[in-house]
Structure 1
Amino acid sequence: MSKSIEELKAQATQIRRDILRMVHAVNSGHPGGSLGCVEYFTALYGKVMNYKLPFSMEGKGEDHFYLSNGHISPVFYSTLARNGFFPISELSTFRKLNSRLQGHPTTHEHLEGIRMSSGSLGQGLSVGIGVALAKKLDGDSSLVYTLHGDGELQEGQIWEALMFAAAKKVDNLISTIDYNGRQIDGDTDDVLSLGDLNAKLRAFGWEVLEEKNGNDLEAVIAVLEHAKSKTGNGKPVAIILHTEMGQGVDFMMGSHSWHGKAPNDAQLESALSQLYVETEADY
């Protein structure tokens, strides 16, 4: 059942609480990028994407999503649980021995909602293209969504895949770049600048949309719906989504230092105090 904007905003806050508690509990994980992508995941699974439950790995007749930057698994796991893919209580097993919720998503754990093992950056676009082409061969009009980090675009495989998708007119694909300007070693511009990414994607033959307010839920829903309207026209669609790493927690924003660092007890308490929600409950 489709949720209202108010319900989705409350869910987004709850997902942020889940992310922080999951990472804190095991003193490991990647909270920064996860927090920055909450609106994207909330919009995709709560409003935009067509999928069915219970989960089917084959997923015929439904949209697929592939997370390429697998280190932001906390936001993915929380979103899946909060949307009924598996029990919310299982979030408490994140990164623990014998858990299905590994630090990077894996398929051999048979966790509902996971269709690709991701951890080695740069591979998700190639997988998404393959699935999109398979859907065309099957006469399946559903869409394929992928998500990538901006630092991930420093991987050469991404650019091979970008070229291939345009050349083969893979127009049932919507690929979003989480453009927060930061990666594990610092600002993306300092590590290896992407230059004019919009112009580069267009030069590669993609339809390109850009949203400056990637942490505004309504804006994210709107750009995703706009992207859907651009499919089927002979070009793959890219969304450059500007987000803030650590969004929602004041001391995590504006820095790359929380890319892969867990908060301590006092920091968790401070962060959760900024993310109060009444409509959902902690696991």
Structure 2
Amino acid sequence: MENALYVVATPIGNLGDMVPRAVEILQSVQLIAAEDTRHSANLMREFNIDTQLLAYHDHSGKGALDRIATVMESGGAVALISDAGTPLISDPGYRLLQHAHSQGWKVVPVPGASALITALSVAGLATDRFRFEGFLSARAAARQRQLESLATESATMIFYEAPHRLIATLEAMTEAFGEQRLVVLARELTKTFETILRLPVAELLATVRADSNQSRGEIVLLVDGAAPLPVELGAEVERLLVLLADELPPRKAAAIASSYTGANKKELYNWLVARGD
């Protein structure tokens, strides 16, 4: 086994999603650093992994890091896993990886499941640009400020949320983004009660309020990006664009208006798109 720290993804629910390479590595390393050894014990039993487990999380003391360092510096191999999914994605491990790089240890990713990518792949929202925000603040005022600061964000936004805060977060999103902003609730992904709801946020809030089951389990919220704000072009330019757009496709109309007025062609095109031409 190569002397390295392996960052190993594990299933987010369905054990059938375990990557064969991950099983091989977890069986072969000298030590597995796990977020919660009691939780990981079930995974170990399922795949006949008898490697020694060490509890490692953001509040672990120096002793845990020293134990990992001893294995690494003696030429051994260590695997890092979280309770589910890809380590470090809103999970512990940042300090360990920071230390690993500072010491020159080889770090090897072993990819697999990730709740945010799994949710994004089925949400039906734009994927060319997205912004992962993780967990919002547990404090209502801070949470509202965070969301209001994102009100004009054009990329798809992805959040994790605790079940007991779901309704409060949807209420805050309704206020910050408006009732019609499209939001996807992806819940219990890959598990028995997997649910994907795709609704305007006010309707989603009403649905969750009416069905307490929607506030259970692991939750990902995805928010459609804001539509681009129309540029103020001036009355004459806007009138010319409208006349041209009545006869031509938006891109052609924008190109002609740009040649005539000297205005930025992309801004003219975006203005027509925002207007609905």
TM bucket, shorter chain: 0.3 to 0.5
Larger radius of gyration: 2
Taking structure 1 as the reference length, the TM-score comes to 0.32
Taking structure 2 as the reference length, the TM-score comes to 0.32
Structure of greater relative contact order (alpha carbons < 8 Å, 6+ residues apart):
1
